[in-house]
């Protein structure tokens, strides 16, 4: 398995990533094909947006986004992460998370990463902490602050 940045000219990769995301987010009002397709198009700084994809051979089996928050400086958001059902439980989600965290830390000297997740233990182990007291739909907001030394 490999995890790489989804390249802007990889149209087939974008379609395959969209299919994984659509299958995982069974909520057409919030995650329709048009919204997912628009999010999969990279954007450059300052309000960058990129997706990483996990490939097993030629098949895309996972995808996860990272983007700059447009409302706070030095703030990055992990979002729209999904793994195809037939390969779940094999560490692909962890790999996608690690790749995105590494990319942010390599490209920015400091800041914070935010994620909304139901899997707080997974993110606690990576140094994230819960922000606030409340959860929404079983999800908590978590943050990781970082500074390159």
Question: In sequence order, what DSSP letters do the residues of 33-97 get, joined into one string?
Answer: HHHHHHHTS-B-TTS-EEEEEEEETTEEEEEEEEEE-TTSTTEEEEEEEEE-GGGTTSSHHHHHH
| 130 three-state secondary structure | strand
Q: Is the per-residue pLDDT at 29 higher than 90? A: no
Domains of the chain listed by start with CATH number: 2-108 (3.40.630.30)
pLDDT digits (tens, 9 = 90+) for 88-142: 999 999 999 999 999 999 999 999 999 999 999 999 999 999 999 888 888 999 9
Report residue 121 as tokens.
Answer: 């233990």
Q: Is the per-residue pLDDT at 148 higher than 90? A: no
């Amino acid at each position: 398995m490999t995890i790489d940045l989804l390249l802007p000219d990889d149209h087939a990769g974008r379609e395959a990533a969209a299919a994984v995301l659509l299958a995982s987010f069974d909520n057409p009002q919030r995650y329709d094909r048009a919204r997912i397709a628009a999010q999969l198009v990279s954007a450059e700084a300052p309000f960058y947006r990129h997706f990483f994809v996990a490939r097993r051979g030629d098949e895309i089996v996972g995808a996860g986004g990272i983007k700059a928050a447009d409302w706070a400086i030095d703030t990055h958001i992990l979002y729209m992460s999904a793994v195809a059902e037939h390969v779940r439980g094999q560490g692909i989600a962890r790999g996608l998370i690690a790749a995105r965290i590494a990319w942010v830390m390599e490209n920015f000297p400091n800041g914070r990463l935010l994620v909304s997740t139901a899997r707080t233990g997974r993110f606690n182990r990576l140094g994230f902490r819960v922000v606030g007291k409340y959860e929404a739909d079983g999800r908590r907001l978590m943050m990781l602050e970082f500074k390159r030394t």
